[in-house]
Amino acid sequence: MNDGGTSAEAGAAPRAASRRPLIAGNWKMNAGGQDACPLSAAVAKATRELTRAEVVVAPPFTAIAAVAHELAEAKSEVGIAAQNMSAEVSGAFTGEVSSGMLKDAGATWVILGHSERRQLFAETDESVARKVASAMAAELRPIVCVGETLEQREAGETLAVVERQVRAVLDELAKQPGFGVIAYEPVWAIGTGKVARAEDAQEVHAFIRGLLAKASEDLAGVTRILYGGSVKADNAEALLAQDDIDGALVGGASLDAAGFAKIVDAAHRLAERAEQG
Ligand SMILES: O=C[C@H](O)COP(=O)(O)O
């Protein structure tokens, strides 16, 4: 990828055994009603044996409690993420949902700073950083999304944009290395079917790891960096095989349990192969 220069060294830390691949399904504003439980049950069933990968689903707020109940009944290891939360703990914030409410409902993860939140709901690096701090204080694991728009990419600004977004949350993530996750999602690849070339994605992931290493080598070694943007069963393996791609944040393809399970399977098999040397 030809992009503007920045200072972080790429690929600062080798793939660590502690970075179990994580495949998270962001349902976005879908499957928030009657369809949430059958979908989560189908994901649980289809991924049960794929234990080398960690699996998370992110239903809309309205379905979190029902999905948590469904997964508990199934004795499933599939985790639950919310798609957003308030940085505030409680009070007069009509329409907002706090970290405590999400935990009570059964979430242990929260997606923060998704590009749809940044673009459509005016979230900024500062507001995302506040949310990350609030989530971590409540022991809710953040999946922090970063990524450039097409315009920024074409202007050669990819690494500068990603650096700015990562730096905004670096101090928080460094407080508890490995607790939070970063998802690199080039905005032009989200929901468009235009997936980043694996080597281009790897370059940005290595760059992000280099930024983490500036805070601490430990942080760089244990932080999982997911790729997101039109990940599907047929392109997952090439992406997940990259040294610094530790999983995927899947949108559209996570609404089909069988297709989603194929992505999890790719991560599981790659991890198995890596273990066998
Ligand atoms: O959170 C998920 C991403 O926005 C990717 O969505 P997508 O897989 O539909 O492109």
- pLDDT single digits (tens) 131-159: 999 999 999 999 999 999 999 999 999 99
* Phi/psi of residue 39, nearest 5 degrees: -65, -45
Residue 10 maps to a domain = no
**Catalytic residue IDs:** 114, 185
Q: What is the per-residue pLDDT for 9?
A: 38
Sequence-distant (≥ 6) Cβ neighbours of residue 167 within 8 angstroms: 211
Q: What is the CATH number of the domain that holds 252?
A: 3.20.20.70
Band (pLDDT 50/70/90 cuts) for residue 174 is very high
Q: Which residues line ligand 1 (CB under 6 A)?
A: 26, 114, 185, 190-191, 228-231, 249-253
Give the count of domains, the chain: 1
CA torsion, ordered 175, 179, 185, 190, to nearest 10 deg: -140
Residue 6 maps to a domain = no
Left if phi > 0, otherwise alpha if psi is -120 to 50, otherwise beta: which for 16? beta
For the ranges 3-17, 99-113, 185-199, 261-275, which has the lowest average pLDDT?
3-17
Residue numbers in the known binding site for substrate are: 26-28, 191, 230, 251-252
Mutation choice for ligand 1 from 22, 23, 26, 110, CB with most ligand atoms inside 8 A: 26
Q: Tell me which residue range forms the domain holding 220.
A: 22-85+109-275
- Cβ-based neighbour number of residue 116 at 10 Å: 19
Sequence-distant (≥ 6) Cβ neighbours of residue 270 within 8 angstroms: 21, 237, 240, 241
Residue 125 maps to a domain = yes
Residue 182 maps to a domain = yes
Nearest protein Cα to ligand 1, atom 2: 251
Residue 193 maps to a domain = yes
Which DSSP letter does residue 35 get?
Answer: T
CA torsion, ordered 220, 221, 223, 225, to nearest 10 deg: 80
Residue 96 maps to a domain = no
Residue 199 maps to a domain = yes
Residue 174 maps to a domain = yes
